Structure 1
Amino acid sequence: MKRYLGVSIVLLCLLFLLPLATVVTHVVRREAAEEPAAKEETKIELLPPGETDGSYTIRVLKGDKVETMTMGEYLQGVVRAEMPASFEQQALCAQAVAARTYTLYKMASGGNHGDLADICTDHTCCQAYLDKETATKNWGDNAENYEAKVENAVSLTDGQTILYDGVPVLAVFHSSSAGQTKKSGEVWTSDLPYLQSVSSPEGEGVPNYYSRVEFTFAEFKKLFMAAYPEADLSGRVSGWFGERKVSGDGNVDSVTVGGVSVRGTQMRTIFSLRSTTFETEIQDGKIVFFVTGYGHGVGMSQYGAQQMAKDGSGWKDIITHYYTGVTVAVYIPEAMS
């Protein structure tokens, strides 16, 4: 645990609480990779847009308005928002494939917007989206190259979709795992065959990979009792904590607090932890969580994808590593073909 103690308390300001709904299709997004320091890149040639992604349009709900755009145009906005454009080209390609697949999955399953739209730009519901103009301002001097990489990621993977039994999968992703991804059943209610636990080479320099969150006894008690009023948090604080169940990948499946067995996902929600891979200690009159990674840990790790790309893996190798037993092929919804 000592290796964690040097991490700045300012991490508290960076914590983001993602609602972990029991409906799997509503999760993901804003646990995407955080932008590392920018680096200079040689000029990148912009490739022509792909024909498949440009062959049909989708309805995108942006705020309270529905905008019609090609699949390719939409995916560019998603990749801009969901993965740092400074990442390796093959990692960005993998992100484009995951985003395309997730979109097609939502369309096939009816999505969340009925007849109004196919997908939205609300990251708490579907996928984040960033328009070219805003991204250009954010990227500064690197804007031209970054935009080329993003558009190329979509063009180079034109129409390529992750399939299981011939249909698009729930292609979820997260920022960084604790060296091993999690099975979907560990985090949500459904254990999907293509969302299994696999190794993840996170690499060096992942921002805020280790985080430390602390609460006074009173703060901890107030937060926990609000969620579980039946819990008994009387007596010595050391007696509040009971059995702890941890999976082989380090994920906290459940922990008993005040006589109540609570899933690790619920502990993460209650205390705004960055992941469910955590340990707890009592130090200097406070309850301290030591957390590894960022995100729900299911599906593709973005920093793992980045490290695989740095090591020479292509986007398809990255995809088939993180999504178990899948095939990758060009896919167009029947309604659009």
Structure 2
Amino acid sequence: MKKCLLFLIGMIGVPCLICVIVCGISPELSIGQGERNMKNCRMGKNVLIEIDGLYKQLDVEEYVLGVMAGVVSPDYEEEALKVQAVLVRTNILKEMQERGTKDAEDIPYQYLTVEERKRIWGERQYDKYEKKMERAVVDTAGKVLQAEGNLILACYHEVSIGKTASAKEVLGEDISYLQSVESNRDVEAKHYMNLVEYSWEEVANYISEYKNDKQEKNIQEKENDSKDRRVEIQIEESSENGFVKKIKIAENVYTGEEAMRMLHLPSMNFYVEEKEEGVRIVCLGKGNCMGISQYGANCMAKDGKKMEQILDYYLKNVSLKQYKEL
């Protein structure tokens, strides 16, 4: 779960019922009647978090709001933000459930306080963006995704390579709801293709920083005796769609994920061009490319698709349910 994350009910009544029938995801409980806000949509389940040196108990819904600010653009469409709220809530509760914890330090997300949100969004935009994020959380209050009675690994990423990747392709494990689907409009995204260039000295430094094992550190110290020394980088195995599985860097073989983290790359889908003065790395997509493409979800929302339809398109054979039912 953590790897996917370092590296994932809106309208009520007849319109919603029609949407549910069309898309196949079936929310079983309505959110409730009357005006809803962050104060009256609490889950009653808390996360323990340290803020400004003090430990506080935050309701899961409030915690979801603070996490949302750091993982999705507030400029996205309302339905896309609802999708994100469901994904984040599912992952938070899955971690709490499986790890038997309520400590924020054990949950692979960063919570942004009100002051941090103001700093990121700017004072002038804060009220507008805060209301959008709150509405997404409130309108999906308590809603999570499950498959076969269990909370799912709710993977998401910023931009795909034009189609999402299956869990089999990226993790080497077949997960029924994480299958590859077309996400064609992602190729229009700003971060669809990223070019990274490093000098050989920078490559050597990144390798050295990544090392944890003492023996490997000693090897790397020898390699760094000459800062201008060329480092051999050879991709040994890639998937059909270009996701790196094995790559040789200097004298060691790493997984694509390890190389992505080591060299600070935006995705595991890349190829390498060696030059005299350094290396050029061309990356496609941003993130783990599994599950829901945030860019693709926003495009669907712009086209009028509802949250349930977006979830149903990207994630196969999952159900949208109220958490207290699980």
Aligned to 1:331: 323
Pick from 157, 162, 181: which aligns with 1:198? 181
Question: Are positions 1:78 and 2:70 aligned together?
Answer: no
The CA deviation at 1:90 is 0.6
In structure 2, give the amino acid aligned to 1:56: G
- Measured in 2, the distance between the counterparts of 1:175 and 1:152 equals 21
Once the two structures are superposed, what CA deviation does each residue of 1:159-188 show, in whole Å capped at 9, x if it has no partner? 221110122112132222222222334444
Pick from 118, 135, 140: which aligns with 2:117? 135
Structure with greater proportional helix content: 2
Distance 1:119 1:165, change over 3 A: farther
Tell me the secondary structure at the aligned position of residue 295 of structure 1: coil
Pick from 121, 128, 153: which aligns with 1:170? 153
Q: What is the TM-score of this pair, normalised by structure 1? A: 0.72
- Measured in 2, the distance between the counterparts of 1:84 and 1:222 equals 32
Aligned to 1:311: 303
Matches within 5 A, 1:1-337: 24-25=1-2, 27-28=4-5, 48-49=36-37, 53-62=41-50, 65-110=54-99, 114=101, 118-120=102-104, 125-137=107-119, 138-188=121-171, 190-203=173-186, 206-217=189-200, 219-220=202-203, 223-224=206-207, 227=211, 229=219, 240=232, 242=234, 244-257=236-249, 261-332=253-324
C-alpha contact 1:210 1:291 (8 A) present in aligned 2: yes
Tell me the secondary structure at the aligned position of residue 62 of structure 1: strand
In structure 1, give the amino acid aligned to 2:84: Q
- Measured in 2, the distance between the counterparts of 1:110 and 1:153 equals 27
In structure 2, give the amino acid aligned to 1:48: R
- Measured in 2, the distance between the counterparts of 1:323 and 1:255 equals 30
Tell me the secondary structure at the aligned position of residue 99 of structure 2: coil
Once the two structures are superposed, what CA deviation does each residue of 1:89-131 show, in whole Å capped at 9, x if it has no partner? 01100000001111121122025xx4xxx151x6x95222223
- Measured in 1, the distance between the counterparts of 2:310 and 2:40 equals 22
Distance 1:204 1:278, change over 3 A: closer
C-alpha contact 2:144 2:323 (8 A) present in aligned 1: yes
C-alpha contact 1:254 1:261 (8 A) present in aligned 2: yes
Count of residue pairs the alignment pairs up:
286
C-alpha RMSD of matched pairs (Å): 3.4
Tell me the secondary structure at the aligned position of residue 161 of structure 2: coil
- Measured in 2, the distance between the counterparts of 1:170 and 1:253 equals 21
Unaligned runs of 5+ in 2: 9-34, 224-228
Once the two structures are superposed, what CA deviation does each residue of 1:215-260 show, in whole Å capped at 9, x if it has no partner? 3345445655875649xx9xxx999455633223321222345575
Aligned to 1:40: none
Percent identical among aligned pairs is: 25
- Measured in 2, the distance between the counterparts of 1:91 and 1:108 equals 26
Tell me the secondary structure at the aligned position of residue 136 of structure 2: helix
C-alpha contact 1:177 1:202 (8 A) present in aligned 2: no
